[in-house]
Structure 1
Amino acid sequence: MFERIAAFFREIGAGAGEEGAAFTRDDPRLAAAALMYHVMGADGVVHESEKARLAEVLEATYSLGKDELERLIEAARDADSEAVDLYQFTSVLMKSLSAEERVHFIELLWEIVYADGVNHELEDNLVWRVSELLGVDGRERVLLRQAVQARTGEQE
């Protein structure tokens, strides 16, 4: 399942930015990374395990080299810090992802949430809001959370 969404992200990322090029605001890779970065810091504490999981997910999803991965994470951090709302990122993903791919993206957000072993209420709320903006219904969001939680063996 993860491989399908990873293949899709690689496909939409191909040509969106050449090696060394900056990530633009309408680049789905930047939108996805910025939302992941935002989720990572939602509880006010960014753990090394979350940073590592973010890098793993982005690297696997977009087949990035080390330098390009670092640029994407830096661009995501900057975009997140400049953002006034989530819509600027979710609107890019709404145009770029199918309904099934948006569901898979929510699963990736849960992967980031559980990277530190805790689902903080602010992280949970943020994934709920992103899910709503991406048109992923509440039942699907909860099932995804439970699946990731079971896979990681973490507690609520």
Structure 2
Amino acid sequence: MIDVLKSLFRPAPAAASRDIAPDLAVAVLLVEAARADGHYNDDDRHAVDALLTGMFDLTEPAALRQQAEAAQEEAADLVRFTRVVKTALTDEERVALIEALWQVVLVDHHRDPHEDALLRHLAPLIAVDDRDSAEARRRVLARAPASDT
């Protein structure tokens, strides 16, 4: 009886979250990161495409990216996408995603405050702690040429 009462107060999972494929959720987050600084250009698109190709072994990543662009534009927030990522990906995959998000925001070799804020916001939503996010950022910076980051 108590379990039944508890279930009445438990929020039901959003229907939209159940309908989102993990690859689309990841792609939306990558697009969001690419757009965080207010500039979304071909370099950003190519970075997103390259990451999607590597993550999902795609031969034509543009279709997924374009679907993600449309979903990101229509979304009121990112919670339904982060919820999918949090439940569908392993701990290692989520850390790899944070690293990929850092790659996208640093594609222009500049750390914008909006990009930093977005990554600080997303990390806990996908169950990646600050230390793992910082280490992911350091790995990306170590691979990048000298810049003003």
Normalization by structure 2: what TM-score?
0.82
Alignment of 1:38-49 (within 5 A): 38-49=32-43
How many angstroms does 1:25 deviate by? Answer: 4.1
Counterpart check, 1:110 vs 2:117: no
How many pairs align? 131
Tell me the secondary structure at the aligned position of residue 110 of structure 2. Answer: coil
Contact persistence 1:42–1:123 (CA under 8 A):
yes
1:99 aligns with 2:91: yes
- In structure 2, the residue matched to 1:26 is 20
Is the counterpart of residue 139 in structure 1 residue 131 in structure 2?
A: yes
Structure 1 unaligned regions, length at least 5? 1-23
Distance 1:109 1:55 in 2: 12
Contact 1:25 1:31 in 2 (8 A): no
Q: Distance in 1 between matches of 2:135 and 2:56?
A: 25
Q: Does 1:36 align with 2:30?
A: yes
Matched, 1:82 2:110: no
Once the two structures are aligned, what percentage of the paired residues are identical? Answer: 32
> SS state of the match for residue 49, structure 1?
helix
State the secondary structure of the residue aligned to 1:140. helix
Q: In the aligned structure 1, how far is the partner of 2:41 from the partner of 2:19? A: 26
Q: Does 1:54 align with 2:48?
A: yes
Aligned-residue CA RMSD in angstroms?
Answer: 1.4
When structure 1 is superposed on structure 2, of 46-55 and 74-83 the one drifting more is 46-55
| CA–CA separation in structure 2 for the residues paired with 1:99 and 1:63 | 20
- C-alpha separation between the residues in 2 aligned to 1:63 and 1:89? 21
| Runs of 4 or more above 6 Å deviation | none
The one-letter code matched in structure 2 to 1:91 is R
Partner Cα distance (1:54, 1:132) in 2: 22
Normalization by structure 1: what TM-score? 0.78
Q: Are 1:155 and 2:112 an aligned pair?
A: no
